[in-house]
Structure 1
Amino acid sequence: MPERHPHLGLSAVEIAELVNGGKFTAREMVDSALAVGADRDEQLRAFTTWWPEEARARAAEVDAARADGVYLPLAGVSFAVKGREGVRSVQNQRLVDAGCVPVGATAVPRAGTAWQTYGVTDRGPTLNPLNPDWSPGGSSAGSAAAVAAGLVPLATGSDGAGSVRIPAAWCGIVGFKPTNGLLPARDRAGLNSPGVLTRTVADAAAYYRAVVPAAVPAPSSRAPRVVWSPTLGYADTDRDVAVTALRALRRIGRAGLCELVDHLVPLRDPAPAWTALRSGSADHGTEALIRHNTRVLDETFREADLVATPTTPHPPHGLDGPGSRMSVALTWAFNLSGHPAITLPAGRTPAGEPVGLQLVARHHADTALLSAADTFNCT
């Protein structure tokens, strides 16, 4: 562990264990994150604003609480706040209450630019730590880049159509969207759920326990049954992306960690219903599409515990934008339906591009989803 920057390479859970165990102070961990950010973020451009004074003051409060014997499950964990969400949102305030320390705000796309999937700063666009020629995704672009680059172990996001899962997949990390409605939506339509970006599933689970205090642990059971769908019945998914994600899922199955179940998932493209709900113009066509997809998903979850797909239908595009491709094609169906979903790193295409494996569970089966994902992620 580098003594000068003790937080580097550590997960949120590991940092909290060290701070709660008295081996480091919250102030030392926060100073480490601030120093690394000052050194590396000028070129990465994950953050638009850093909050050093506020972060050190909050770290001092965490250390004072620890000195009084108070246990904080995420003591001393530096985290990044998406865009203009602010520290007073429900998810961020609950993270602070658990001992986390917000250190700054991350980059998001410029307002009014259709489907722009990279962050904007006064220094230029946010870069993908895996390859600066690739978009880091959006809209939680800066959050994904900050976590993938190791500036912080955890960053908040919000996911209205895939805005947590897509940047996580393209930056090679974990992105989790809880069941819609467990946390206050970020939009009037109820499509945009708060979420988190981390490097480990264990950290995503720690986030969930902190922000959903009534979370019930998942009971241990048999290996989950998983239905694979590369297109969900409508998406134009690149072959290399589908093959890479399926290869990861089959590897998990061969390890005995899941059982693959043959079952079609013939959803209708959610685009018109999502757009209508977002604009407040829902009609009978919207209701019919939602009823169809609800019926298909209900039938699917009677046959299986999880649905697996590639997270995106294509690999990261360049910083010039996605063109006509819909990066959200495989994610926004579950904003419309409200199911919890997580993306895990699934490997690379033959061209070296990152691919995510998306796992979706029944409503309110968030802890079971996280438990399965944690097991899968260990392979």
Structure 2
Amino acid sequence: MPRLSAEQIAAAVQAGETTAVDVVAAALARIEQAEPTLHAFVEVWAEEALRRAAEVDAQVAAGVLLPLAGVPIGVKGRAGLRAAAARALVAAGCVPVGATSVPGPGTPWQTWGLGAGGRTVNPWRADRTPGGSSAGSAAAVAAGLVPMATGTDGAGSVRIPAAWCGVVGLKTTNGRLPSPDRTGLAAAGVLTRYASDAAAYWRCVTEAGDAQGSGDRGGGGTKHDGPEQPYAAERPYAAGTASTAGTAGTAGTTRAVGAAEVTQAADSASPPVAVWSADLGFADTDPGPAAIAHGAALRLMDAGLVRLTGLTGLTGLVRPPVRQAHQPVHQGTPPSRAANPPEPQPGPPKQQPHPYPLRLEDPAPAWLALRAAPPPDARPAP
């Protein structure tokens, strides 16, 4: 089942149309065929994966409902199964088939991966890198070896390989899930071929509660004393919609945001703080994608879903005034009212400056200082 989604695989296993053992065996066969050139895995756990798949089949036969029954997954790095998110996936019925590659020793922040047989290659072009640091996870998913693989992301380690390999990458909000990263920079994530599978991952890892997975490679028997369970973040926006558009003195107000409506309770907790930077102070970004992302950030602010912070830290928080989506921001007199409207200029349109600070200082020095790791001075051999 190389091209079925994780949810489709789980539905077929749960319905008895196939077995977890057959699904996992097919994934292992694909890995064996691809690994001599792809190098997406540092370890393959064939025997343990088949044993775990048989356990999943037994649970399904006993009537246990597993949301991701029999789904083969890759886990990032040799220690990947110790992560709380990976344990939650195992509890949901996933079967880890191996540890995916990460950058080699001494170069932990570079966008590449080193598998058991050599440098991890991009499945689309073997002369290109898959990105990193979740290199093997992205390559394995893009090549169809597994439908889902875990990752972590502190400075793009899920997002970069997802973009370079053409798959879906989800970086969870920092602090929403347990993480061994004491600096708070890295967050759990996942790489999939389908957005619906990323949503299924999110449901499993956030609704796991006190469910205990395993701490050994194959998922069987060793309890892991890991970090605390995810915190239950207070949500300032209630689910559902109000019957009116909002009235002064009522419990809340409702306004349209895209195709949905959100109800904001009066005197509720403030929206979370957000910062924006297209280049983190040093990167050379493409103006087109940067403008799209910048526009999305502005829409989130206009919806009242996030607040902004200034460049000097978490002081002087600003919540921008609500602006309807169809009303553009004009500097000075709107063009429609100007006596002599300016002639359009050739070339790409220039972005109007936004009145609120959207730039984040370059975090690289702080990143390296917190990690107590000097910048790498050597690149891996080709």
TM-score, normalised with respect to structure 1: 0.63
Q: Give the aligned partner of residue 281 of structure 2.
A: 234
State which of 3, 8, 19 in structure 1 corresponds to 2:13.
19
Instruction: Give the deviation of 1:250 after TM superposition.
Output: 8.8
Deviation readout 1:65-124 (Å, 9 max, x if unpaired):
111111100001000011122423311111010000000111111121264321113422
Residues paired across the two proteins, number: 271
Kept in 2: contact 1:233–1:265 (CA 8 A): no
Task: Say if 2:111 is the partner of 1:64.
Answer: no
1:185 is aligned to 2:230: no
1:231 CA drift (Å): 2.2
Gaps of 5+ in 2: 210-231, 241-255, 261-273, 297-323, 330-353, 374-378
Q: Secondary structure at the match of 2:184?
A: coil
Contact 2:84 2:179 in 1 (8 A): no
Question: Could you tell me which of 167, 190, 200 is aligned with 1:173?
Answer: 167
Share of identical aligned residues, percent? Answer: 52
How much has 1:183 moved relative to structure 2?
2.1
Per-residue Cα deviation, 1:133-167 (whole angstroms, up to 9, x for no partner): 21111111001100011100000111122111111
The residue that corresponds to 2:257 in the other structure is 222
Q: Is the 8 A contact 2:276 2:359 kept in 1?
A: no
Asked if 2 retains the 8 angstrom alpha-carbon contact of 1:160 and 1:192, the reply is yes
Contact 1:118 1:319 in 2 (8 A): no
Counterpart Cα distance in 1 of 2:293 and 2:85: 31
SS in 2 for 1:94: helix
Contact 1:134 1:319 in 2 (8 A): no
Report what 2:366 is aligned to: 273
After TM superposition, list the pairs within 5 Å mapping 1:1-379 onto structure 2: 7-113=1-107, 115-213=109-207, 219=239, 222-223=257-258, 231=278, 234-238=281-285, 241-243=286-288, 263=354, 265-279=358-372
Partners of 1:133 and 1:319 within 8 A in 2: no
CA distance in 1, matches of 2:64, 2:115: 39
1:177-210 deviation digits (Å, cap 9, x = unpaired): 1112222223221212121111111111111111
Question: For residues 277-315 of structure 1, what are the alpha-carbon distances to aligned partners after superposition, in whole Å with 9 as ceiling and x for unaligned?
Answer: 3339xxxxxxxxxxxxxxxxxxxxxxxxxxxxxxxxxxx
Identify the structure with the greater helix proportion.
1
SS at match of 2:81: coil
Secondary structure of the 1:127 match is coil
Deviation by residue 1:341-367 (Cα, 9 ceiling, x = unmatched): xxxxxxxxxxxxxxxxxxxxxxxxxxx
Sort the Cα spacing of 1:268 and 1:88 in 2 relative to 1 into closer, same or farther, 3 A: closer
User: What amino acid sits opposite 2:372 in the alignment?
Assistant: S
Distance 2:184 2:115 in 1: 28
Residue 17 to residue 109, structure 1, CA distance change in 2 (3 Å): same
Structure 1 gap ranges (5+): 1-6, 252-257, 281-317, 322-379
Contact persistence 2:278–2:294 (CA under 8 A)? no
Distance 1:39 1:144 in 2: 17
Residue number in structure 2 paired with 1:325: none
- Please, what TM-score do these two structures have when normalized by structure 2? 0.63
The structure, 1 or 2, with the larger RCO (C-alpha pairs under 8 Å, 6+ apart) is 1
Separation (CA, whole Å) in 2 of partners of 1:26 and 1:245: 42
Kept in 2: contact 1:186–1:193 (CA 8 A):
no
* Aligned amino acid, residue 27 of structure 1: V
Q: Work out the CA distance in 1 between the residues paired with 2:78 and 2:106.
A: 15
> Once the 2 structures are TM-superposed, how far is the Cα of residue 36 of structure 1 from its aligned partner?
1.0
